[in-house]
Amino acid sequence: MTQAPIRIIGIDPGLRRTGWGVITAEGSRLGYVAGGTLKADERLPLAERLLSLHEQLTRVVAEWTPDEAAVEETFVNKDARSTLKLGHARAVALLVPAAAGLSVAEYAPNAVKKCVVGAGHADKDQIHHMVKILLPRCKPDSADAADALAVAVTHAHHRTSAVARIAAGAVAS
């Protein structure tokens, strides 16, 4: 059974920089489409930074027309205030694709690292390196963009596994 190619947008949310990456997945074959980094002016008030991220991400989704979205979950650190602010950026990353009618999956940072690198505690350089191996045409403009592509690859892997399980169940019936 051949699966139709789908476009997946991966999003690595941040208040200063939000990485995004679009890939195609056709069965287990992956292809690079586009990627980049959205930036918000740190001097602006929080609400205006969030609005800027919302507008930029809305343009990306409209331009690259993904079929599904995947967002990295927030890494909780010792500074509750910073974690809460990052949560606001993550809300924008969840809201924009949902408003465009896309299903949105969420993945923990360690799950993304384990899927792409094979170890849940990989560093940014390892992720960047593996993303370039998995998607040879890509040249991420930042670690955030590489992370976003890794999130998209993770979603492609998980959805392919789910489709295979469903197909196996249909065959067994």
Q: Is 141 annotated in the active site?
A: no
What is the residue-wise DSSP string for the chain? -PPPPEEEEEEE--SSEEEEEEEEEETTEEEEEEEEEEE--TTS-HHHHHHHHHHHHHHHHHHH--SEEEEEPPPP-S-HHHHHHHHHHHHHHHHHHHHTT-EEEEE-HHHHHHHHTSSTT--HHHHHHHHHHHSTT---SSHHHHHHHHHHHHHHHHHHHHHHHHHHHHHH-
**Rounded CA separation 116/152 (Å):** 10
Of the candidates 41, 42, 72, 147, the residue annotated as catalytic is 72
Of the candidates 42, 123, 144, 147, the residue annotated as catalytic is 144
Query: What six digits make up the tokens of 11?
Result: 């999003």
Does the annotation place 67 within a ligand binding site?
no
Does the annotation place 147 within a ligand binding site?
no
Q: Is 79 annotated in the active site?
A: no
Does the annotation place 63 within a ligand binding site?
no
Q: Is 41 annotated in the active site?
A: no
Residues with catalytic function: 12, 72, 144
Q: Which positions make up the binding site for Mg(2+)?
A: 12, 72, 144
